[in-house]
Structure 1
Amino acid sequence: MNAPAVPPDRLSKPLWRQVLALALPALAQQYLHLVVQLSDQYLAGRFELPDPQQRTGYLSALNTAGYLYWFVSSYTVLVSVGSTALVARFVGAGNWPLAKHATGQAVVLAAVFGVLGAAAALVGLPDLIDALQLHGAAARVCVEFLTPLAALLVFQITESACAACLAGAGDTRTGLKVLGLVAVLNVPLAWGLCFGIGPWAGLGFVGIALGTGLSHVIGCVTLLVILARGRSGLKLHLANLVPDFPLIRRLLWVSVPAAVDSLSAAFCQLWFLSIVNRLGDTAAAAHGIALRWEALGFLSGAAFGTAAMTLVGQNLGAREPARAARCGWAAFAIGGAVMSGMGLLFLLFARPMFRVFCPDPHLSGIVETGAPALRLIACAMPALASQIVFTAALRGAGDARVPVLFSWCGFLGVRIPLAYLLTAPRVDLGALGVVPGADMGLFGAWIAMCTDLWVRGAFFAVRFASGKWKTVEV
């Protein structure tokens, strides 16, 4: 089952149509993933407890769990970025046998990293959550929630790798359909396992996570079956699952720097979360809900980043670097416009958006704390678009090393220091003494986050504009 290198009709289409053809299915896919997260948040907000105030602790636990679950997405970069970049290069060059072989090697890597990640998570979860300043009942609930997700991690990583290979071949529709299945299954599975069915009382809070994990198992198996039968020029053969270490090295040559970038960002995000958690359960819960809604913008950028990564990789494979650059700028322009529109929604409807997850009057403090932060992030949407889309475009070109430095500068030089200074009444610098802080609570933390986004957004735009990525070999 072969297909032309880069379909001629695609080359003849205007760039904006090429971008939208890839980005819109990916956008719908990202939003379906968000539906899974929001449905989990919705169930948590309505989880009945003897003391309504305990629900704040549950929401705080779900926020921390959400951060750690997001860490999984960063971990999958160890496989997904190299898969998309290499498959796109091979497809652009018309080398379909190598594209199929790279797909098989991506599945092998996903299985290996999935097993290793699951083992590490199951052993280290309690200590990690304690380090994130979550204690007591909230910490216990968080560990219980994440345990089934950790146990089933290999399926989610393999699902991501399969979708990444298809995206490299220019097929984002199949991933959309499969994740649609995952989202449709997640709601009844999570609800039934949480609250029970008929005389069965259910598993409680942990049932939400188990339902999510099982829906990803089904998504993974579905994608493997699809690739085994052949789709979009890619087909899994048993021969392609035999480890090919030179090709695996090529995959990792792109993926490892990208994963270092994503994982170091994830670690810094967890550091940032520990600062927020010190502000108490109300601030932590408000932070988590604000991030859920902010994902409307973030995931839009990720979809256009997928388009940029695929088009840049395919055009470089076809030896069209100038066209690759135009594709990257087109993806940023359209993605930035969409994300700015999302920012307008945050400005206008922050309070109603919070009340969706905080209908109980006892949770009004979460609304009052979180709504200003959600409005603030609207101002950073253009910068966030630059950071996300150009990061993906550079990864599609195989330029994944220099961007790591940008992430470190943004987090370690801007976000973390500012977060300490703006959230606390005073900051202990050890031998340097104590300096006064702004004591702005959660709002101060989000000021630090927005400042970081503008710094990194500028760095990535300048790097892409330099054109140095056009000569990177993968």
Structure 2
Amino acid sequence: MFRVMREFMRNFGQMKSISEVRHFLLESWNMGWPIILIMFFQFLIGLTDVYVAGLLGKEILAAVGYVGQLYWTLMILANGITVGTVSMVSQAYGAKHPEGVGSITAHSLVLGVFISGVLTVLAQLFPEQITRFAGMPPEIQGIATAFLRVFSLVLIPTYIMIITSGVLRSSGRVRVAMLNSFVTAMVNIVADLSLGLGWGPIPALGFIGIAWGTAIATTIGMVLNLGYVIRGEKLQILHSLGRPLPRCMRNLVKLGVPTALQQTAWNAGTLVVYFLAGQLQAGEITALAAMTAGVRVEAVIFLPVFAFNMASAVLTGTRLGAGDVSSARSGAKATALLCLGIILLPAVAIFFLAPYISAFLTEDAAVREEMTRYLQINMVGVPFLALGITLSGALQGAGDTFGTMKIIFTGMWIFRIPLILVVVHIFHAGALGIWWSMTVSMVLMCSLLVHRFVGEKWITASRDKQTNTMLWEACIPEDRPSETK
């Protein structure tokens, strides 16, 4: 593990000059800070839904929480498509091939509309069955079903919004995506409050107002993103919509499916961890409460980490598209170190202020003590988290989604869950053992990501071995061959 880190730092020192390092850091920051704000605005949307639901009653709050988890499970495929889209669009953009950008965008939208359309039909036909299958308590199933009926109506707009946001980020328009995300969040806040609680002449619709408020905001976000995307590549998109290319679609699926499987495996593993924490022989409720609250605090760390993960994907893809492998590798390292530098201060603050943070969030003495341990132990792994997750973005931008998937799966199902089972059932370490298992598994997983990056396989992940061309080039019509070699 430490050998891998030494190799990473040694290679970082191969940059030519301080000015080169400064250049890469500036590029990373210019791409990273708008994405941090995008993620914050998305966080505000969920927070507003929860806030208004809490004012309407605990049953509605519970239903919003359940449906929110179910809804974002349906978004896994959208995120998978977007990762493949970002990889291919950023490479086409780096190769200065606007037709490639437009064609990839068109194929991604077709794929996203098809998948979300199927999900919409299923959710509209079988909402009661879905809510029951999701394990929702009987007392909130009626509310959850009503939520699902409305939310499923905007599955297609949501897919389009997510995919087009990825296109904007990866084609030099990240600040446009940020502004559109801001507008979407503000509309959601106003719509939730006015439709849910009533405002002036607008009657209070109760919980269904929350659903329609979010639906309206999502649709506006889709229109804004789509308008900017079409404005940039209108002719290319229209041309590609009329002449879809099977190989282009196949390559998008090839890059996107591993990411969808990766997120599914991680989410399922997280549910298992919650289940195992709930099976402790003593203090299980305390452990669950501490973990639930602790995860909310960790969002301070996770937001910038995953923002720089996405920034690294775009920057690495763009540099590889331009044929600059050396800059792709050096730039990814600079992004990872910038992320590390940014989150170290809040991580150290959380570590030392954990007792006070816990006391602010709960009055239960046992939960305060357990939450303090949870936060302090998890902060130990933050340096590895920053480097590993940021570099995984570089791997995804390079098209190495299958390699990333294997490592994430290993971290959860080979390291974390077996380790928890051992420390809980053999060593009887209780909640403390679970917290240390989570941190140790995170360190091991992120070390594997760094090791993958230090190697060479990811560099050629976006190259079709049969044709010896980049995967994105399959999206160029045969009568208009790419100049990229």
* Pairing partner for 1:28 from 37, 40, 43: 37
Letter in 2 for 1:438: A
Q: How far does residue 340 in structure 1 lie from its aligned partner after superposition?
A: 2.4
Q: Confirm or deny that 1:458 pairs with 2:430.
A: no
CA contact (8 A) 1:22 1:171 kept: no
Letter in 1 for 2:87: A
- Give the whole-Å Cα distance in 2 for the aligned partners of 1:235 and 1:293: 46
- Give the whole-Å Cα distance in 1 for the aligned partners of 2:223 and 2:310: 23
Unaligned ranges ≥5, structure 1 = 1-10, 50-54, 427-434
Instruction: Say which is worse superposed, 266-275 or 347-356, in terms of deviation.
Output: 347-356
Over 3 Å counting, the alpha-carbon distance change for 1:125 and 1:256 in structure 2 is same
Q: Confirm or deny that 1:343 pairs with 2:350.
A: no
The residue number in structure 1 matching 2:194 is 192
Instruction: Say which is worse superposed, 183-192 or 349-358, in terms of deviation.
Output: 349-358
CA contact (8 A) 2:396 2:404 kept: no
Over 3 Å counting, the alpha-carbon distance change for 1:212 and 1:81 in structure 2 is same
- Give the whole-Å Cα distance in 2 for the aligned partners of 1:127 and 1:85: 37
- Give the whole-Å Cα distance in 2 for the aligned partners of 1:185 and 1:333: 36
- Give the whole-Å Cα distance in 1 for the aligned partners of 2:69 and 2:287: 15
Over 3 Å counting, the alpha-carbon distance change for 1:462 and 1:272 in structure 2 is same
The residue number in structure 1 matching 2:374 is 373
The residue number in structure 2 matching 1:430 is none
Over 3 Å counting, the alpha-carbon distance change for 1:129 and 1:415 in structure 2 is farther
Q: Confirm or deny that 1:386 pairs with 2:394.
A: no
Q: Confirm or deny that 1:40 pairs with 2:49.
A: yes
- Give the whole-Å Cα distance in 1 for the aligned partners of 2:378 and 2:208: 31
Q: Write the deviation string for residues 41-99 of structure 1: whole angstroms up to 9, x where unpaired.
A: 4334x4254xxxxx4x7666655545444434532223101111111111222221111
Q: Write the deviation string for residues 144-193 of structure 1: whole angstroms up to 9, x where unpaired.
A: 55553333222111111111112221321111011001111111222233
Q: Write the deviation string for residues 1-51 of structure 1: whole angstroms up to 9, x where unpaired.
A: xxxxxxxxxx9971111111111111111111122223334334x4254xx
The residue number in structure 2 matching 1:396 is 397
Instruction: Say which is worse superposed, 285-294 or 175-184, in terms of deviation.
Output: 285-294
- Give the whole-Å Cα distance in 1 for the aligned partners of 2:133 and 2:301: 29
Letter in 2 for 1:297: I
Q: Following superposition of structure 1 onto structure 2, how do residues 411-426 of structure 1 map, counting pairs within 5 Å?
A: 411-420=412-421
- Give the whole-Å Cα distance in 2 for the aligned partners of 1:105 and 1:315: 23
Over 3 Å counting, the alpha-carbon distance change for 1:290 and 1:116 in structure 2 is farther
Aligned residues: 441
Q: Write the deviation string for residues 337-390 of structure 1: whole angstroms up to 9, x where unpaired.
A: 2222332343355577668877xx7x8886666454344332222222233212
The residue number in structure 2 matching 1:5 is none
Over 3 Å counting, the alpha-carbon distance change for 1:30 and 1:133 in structure 2 is same
Q: How far does residue 206 in structure 1 lie from its aligned partner after superposition?
A: 4.9
Letter in 1 for 2:25: W
Letter in 1 for 2:193: W
Q: How far does residue 439 in structure 1 lie from its aligned partner after superposition?
A: 3.4
The residue number in structure 1 matching 2:241 is 241
- Give the whole-Å Cα distance in 2 for the aligned partners of 1:97 and 1:275: 51
The residue number in structure 2 matching 1:264 is 265
Over 3 Å counting, the alpha-carbon distance change for 1:436 and 1:453 in structure 2 is closer
- Give the whole-Å Cα distance in 1 for the aligned partners of 2:209 and 2:293: 20
Instruction: Say which is worse superposed, 24-33 or 275-284, in terms of deviation.
Output: 275-284
Letter in 2 for 1:439: G
CA contact (8 A) 1:25 1:173 kept: yes
The SS at the match of 2:259 is: helix
- Give the whole-Å Cα distance in 1 for the aligned partners of 2:85 and 2:126: 28
CA RMSD of superposed structures (Å):
3.5
- Give the whole-Å Cα distance in 2 for the aligned partners of 1:278 and 1:136: 23
Over 3 Å counting, the alpha-carbon distance change for 1:457 and 1:387 in structure 2 is same
* Pairing partner for 2:215 from 189, 213, 216: 213
CA contact (8 A) 1:110 1:154 kept: yes
The residue number in structure 2 matching 1:311 is 315
Over 3 Å counting, the alpha-carbon distance change for 1:200 and 1:18 in structure 2 is closer
Q: Confirm or deny that 1:323 pairs with 2:332.
A: no
Letter in 1 for 2:342: V
Instruction: Say which is worse superposed, 338-347 or 102-111, in terms of deviation.
Output: 338-347
CA contact (8 A) 1:343 1:377 kept: no
Over 3 Å counting, the alpha-carbon distance change for 1:163 and 1:418 in structure 2 is same
CA contact (8 A) 1:92 1:317 kept: yes
Over 3 Å counting, the alpha-carbon distance change for 1:141 and 1:452 in structure 2 is farther
The SS at the match of 1:47 is: helix
CA contact (8 A) 1:60 1:284 kept: no
Q: How far does residue 101 in structure 1 lie from its aligned partner after superposition?
A: 1.1
Q: Confirm or deny that 1:183 pairs with 2:185.
A: yes
The residue number in structure 2 matching 1:405 is 406
The residue number in structure 2 matching 1:8 is none
TM-score by length of 2: 0.79
Over 3 Å counting, the alpha-carbon distance change for 1:418 and 1:305 in structure 2 is same
- Give the whole-Å Cα distance in 2 for the aligned partners of 1:288 and 1:126: 28
Q: How far does residue 207 in structure 1 lie from its aligned partner after superposition?
A: 3.8
- Give the whole-Å Cα distance in 2 for the aligned partners of 1:37 and 1:225: 25
The SS at the match of 2:401 is: coil
CA contact (8 A) 2:301 2:346 kept: yes
- Give the whole-Å Cα distance in 2 for the aligned partners of 1:142 and 1:373: 32
Letter in 1 for 2:215: G
- Give the whole-Å Cα distance in 1 for the aligned partners of 2:238 and 2:303: 34
Unaligned ranges ≥5, structure 2 = 1-19, 464-470, 472-485
The residue number in structure 2 matching 1:174 is 176
Over 3 Å counting, the alpha-carbon distance change for 1:312 and 1:37 in structure 2 is same
The residue number in structure 2 matching 1:439 is 430
Percent identity, aligned pairs only, is: 23
Q: Write the deviation string for residues 198-233 of structure 1: whole angstroms up to 9, x where unpaired.
A: 586634445434423331111011111222222xx6
CA contact (8 A) 2:316 2:394 kept: yes
